[in-house]
Structure formats: C-alpha cells, structure tokens
Amino acid sequence: MFDNARLTRIADWMQGYVDGRRFAKASVLIAHQGREVYYHDCGHRNLATQTAWQRDTVARIYSMTKPVTSVALMQLVERGLFNLDTPVSEFIPEFSDMHALVPEAKSLDQTAPCAAPTLHQLLTHTSGLSYAFNPGLVGRAMMERRIEFRPSQGSLAEMCSKAASLPLAFAPGRRWEYSVGIDIIGRVVEVVTGKTLEQYFIQEIFEPLGMTETRFSVPKASSDRFAACYTPLAEGGFTTGRATHGADTLRLIDGSDASPFLAATLQSGGGGLVGTIDDYLKFTESLRTGGDGIIGPKTLKFMMRNHLRGEIADMGPSSFAEQPMEGMGFGIGGAVVLDPARARCPGHVGDFSWGGMASTFFWIDPVADLSVLFFTQLIPSSAYPARSELKALVHGAMT
C-alpha cells in the first residue's frame, strides 16, 4: 500500500516547515485499515519553554469539532426525535421571526421576511448564517457585536440568541456560506437532550470510543501537555481578508498557561474542542468503519454524500472555507471530494474531510481505507498550503 522510502518525505516536509519558522510544531498520523502505518512529530509545543511537541500533546482542533457535533445531531435523528427538514425555531424560538438581506443590500435594515433555517441547512452551511471573519454586512456586524462563539463568551444559549438577532446574509437554501450553523446545532442537541453539549458528547461519543482527552476545557491532568498557538499575522490570527504578515512568523496568540480553553464557559459545537491526535483518530476510524456502535453505518454513508446541488463553488460563496470549493461538495459536517482534478489536489472521489482554524486537518479515504490526521497550532489555517501538500505526499507514497 505504501512505499516506505516515499513516506519519509513527510518527515522532511514537516521539518522544513518547522525549520523555516512557519509552524512551531507538527504531527502526522496515518492509519490503513485500522493499522497505524506512519507517525511523525517535530518541533515544540511551546517555543518559550522549548517543550517538545509529542504524541500526547493537547491541541485546539477548532472546526474539527463540527463533524463531532454533526454525528451527535444525527444520533438524535436516528432515534426518530425529529427530521432534518425541521425548522431550528422549533428548538430555539429566537429564530422564529427571521429576515434575510435582500440582494445587493447596503445596510442591515434592507431585508425581507424569510423562513427559519432548517436543521439540514444549518448542517450544510446553506442557512444564511455567517461568521464574524467573513466578508459582508452580516460578518461585519457579527465582528462588531462579538458574536464569535469563543470559549470565554458566556454560554452557548446566550450566543445563539445573539446570532438570531441579526438578519441572515441570504434566504436559507440560496447559497453556501461557511457559518456558525453547527454551533446552533450544538444548542439544538442541548435543548433536545436536556444535557450540556459536553455531557452529551461524553456519554454518547467520547466514552464509547475511549476518547478520554477530548473536551471543551483542557483536562486538568493534561494541562502540562497543552500547546501554545501562534500566528504569522501582525494584527491577529482570526482573519480571512487582506492580512499583514508580521516580522515574527510565530507570534504567540494564545498561550498554554493562560488560555480560555483551560476553563471554557461556552461549549462551541462549531469550534470548541481540544484533544490529542490519537483521540481524534478514534473518531475518524469510527466514521471510516461504519460507526463503531455510536451511529448506524447507513446514516454515516448518508452523511458523507454530497448534500449540495453541485459543488460548493456552484453556490456562489463569498466566505472563507477550510477546503477548496471547486471539485468539492459538502455533506453533513464535512467536505466531500467530487472531482480531484477540479479540486487540483490528489485524492479519491468520496474523500471526507475538514480542518480547523489552527491548521489541523483530517481526511478519510474510503477507497484506500485510510484515516489521515495533521496536527499543529497556527492561526489562520489559510496561512500556508500545508493540507494540499500533505495529500500530495500521502498519495505520492501509495503503491
């Protein structure tokens, strides 16, 4: 399956990023048919202390939380508690009286009434919601009002109410725009189950899979293994627009000893989890092998199909995304490769993947029976083309 000599190129590639001060650290883990075939790490989880980045390092996985939340929601769908066409307003009343910006709107008051987004639209980023780092009127308003779902911003219920107070960027179903929709889904899980999102994750996903180190707050027993996070930007890492690179390519943006992730108050289903690379492998392997008892295999196949009417690029996005838009569709909680050539990146049709703002990334290859994970801690994830480079390295090593 793999040429071991070609696999060693991955270590050289990673070391080049570390030596060039583009990443402070990195790790890659590859499993084939459930058996580990490659692991390598290099660099430092904290540059100030020169502590080595090791396999048990705890990292912020940001939007790699989204597939976990999506599985949680689909577990409830499997139990017949609701269907995906259910309006979110049935669970969160603040979304009952919705308005969307009219095309070419120049201000937030230029709106028309619209339906509340459905659960399916929230899961697939076609709801009309946005992100504070996206361009446009709604993204700018979210930034001004700090509707960001960060771990120190109160409760999930409060932040969902704030998100509902803004108009939608477009009428639900009209376009694709990367959004806080799966954060809202996290709140739906709480409302339906009567549990906090973390309580539900622990009971229904983490404990069954043996994921002991993935939580919304860094476990106290793991705090000495928590990584620092860096940015190459001068003005801050959370931006997808025009950004200025600073003189220091590894400027500290969130330390390991004073981070809001040490004691999170807001459990963000769209981006709040921290964990280890081995813990996340347990989750990706459960998806690759058909659910591992946490969800049905037919449900997983449904989730990993393209749920858009074409590729993401066909739906007029103006937002940031964690993946290419051409040649890519979107399923429930992750991207799906429709055409590797259109995506301009080696892969197989049906590859299911997503990444996080701190440049973490995973993909499941159902054709080659692979789970591949890349962990580092650099914001934003658009800083370097590491993800496409890694896919090329892995495919180049296949026999």
Q: Are 50 and 156 in a shared domain?
A: no
Instruction: Looking at the structure, tell me whether residues 258 and 354 fall in a common domain.
Output: yes
From the list 164, 156, 183, 161, the residue with the least C-alpha distance to 62 is 183
Rg (CA), the chain: 20
Same domain assignment for residues 266 and 328: yes
User: CA torsion sign, 151 to 117 to 100 to 102?
Assistant: positive
Contact 294, 276 (CB under 8 A): no
pLDDT exceeds cutoff 70 at 25: yes
Q: Are residues 21 and 116 in the same domain?
A: no
Closest CA to 259 of 358, 396, 140, 381: 358
pTM over 0.75: yes
172 and 148 co-located in one domain: yes
**Whether pLDDT at 288 is above 70:** yes
Residue 374 sits in the same domain as residue 313 = yes
Residue 311 tokens read as: 């590729």
113 and 16 in a common domain: no
Mean pLDDT score, 297-304: 97
- Number of domains the chain contains: 2
Using the 3D structure, point to which of 142, 158, 193 is the last residue of a domain: 193
Mean pLDDT of 109-134: 97
Check whether 242 has a pLDDT greater than 90: no
The per-residue pLDDT for range 203-220, each reduced to its tens digit, is 999 999 999 999 999 999
Q: What is the pLDDT of residue 293?
A: 87
Pair 13, 82 in one domain: no
Do the Cβ atoms of 293 and 205 come closer than 8 Å? no
Q: Are residues 146 and 231 in the same domain?
A: no
Q: Is residue 288 domain-shared with residue 230, that is, in the same domain? A: yes
Q: What CATH number has the domain bearing residue 353?
A: 3.40.710.10
Range of the domain at 270: 4-62+214-396
pLDDT at 182: 98
Q: What is the mean pLDDT of residues 308-322?
A: 81
Residue 184 sits in the same domain as residue 250: no
Domain match, 242 and 268 both: yes
